[in-house]
Amino acid sequence: MTEPHHRTVSLLARADAAADEDGRLPLPDVAAWDIFPFEGEILVRRLEAPVLPEPPRHGEGGDPCGTCAAGESRAIWADERWKLVPLEEASMPIVLLEPMAHLDLAELDDAQAAELGVLAVRVERALTALGGVGRVHVMKVGDGSSHLHVWFFARPEGLLQLRGSSLSDWSDCLPPMPQDEWLAVQHELAVGLAQTGGRALR
């Protein structure tokens, strides 16, 4: 059995000391901010014990990688080493930038890391050019799949409650675009991005 790191041990001790008799931490300040999507009686979940070693993610530990298996089939744009993949259903334009090869962020060589920086800027510009976009949020998490996927969210212009770090939660609350509207947006985005390189696939 793997022991947790000393910083994790002290974090758990601090959380335990700050929790009420029900084992729950007080709500954070963000719960009172106007960008927080939820209201009413809300509780902070009780913190569970660490799981070590952590379980494998999708695409590692012998689990086949869906991103590799999909190739370009779900992509709306691609070049030699990257592809842009839309969510199948999305309340606002949301796309994922993924390397063709099975690599996580730290596994990119310097050349492909530099390409990622340039591509992130190009994708943000192409999303902004769709119109009606107040801000593009860019996010890398990676706890689900081991195949690098960088998220791009196009926040609807003027919807100030959707600003900041609550946007991904809001995007799950809001109903998806009709499929024909989303497909038209994907086409416009793919053609726009291909103007500065790569191939539009939709």
Strands (DSSP E) found in 11-81: 77-78
Backbone angles phi, psi at 124, to 5 degrees: -60, -45
Instruction: Examine residue 145 and tell whether it contacts Zn ion (CB under 5 A).
Output: no
Window 79-118: contact mask with Zn ion (x via CB under 5 A)? -----------------------x----------------
Give min distance, CB of 154 to Zn ion, in A: 25
Choose, by CB under 5 A, the member of 67, 91, 171, 186 that binds Zn ion. 67
Choose, by CB under 5 A, the member of 122, 147, 149, 155 that binds Zn ion. 147
Instruction: Examine residue 201 and tell whether it contacts Zn ion (CB under 5 A).
Output: no
Q: Residues in contact with Zn ion, total (CB under 5 A)? A: 6
Pairing status of strand 133-140 against strand 150-156: antiparallel
Q: Are 14 and 64 in contact (CB under 8 A)?
A: no
**Beta-ladder partners of 156:** 133
Q: Which two tokens stand for residue 79?
A: 């070049």
The one-character DSSP state at 145 is B
Which residues form the interface with Zn ion (CB under 5 A)?
A: 59, 65, 67-68, 102, 147
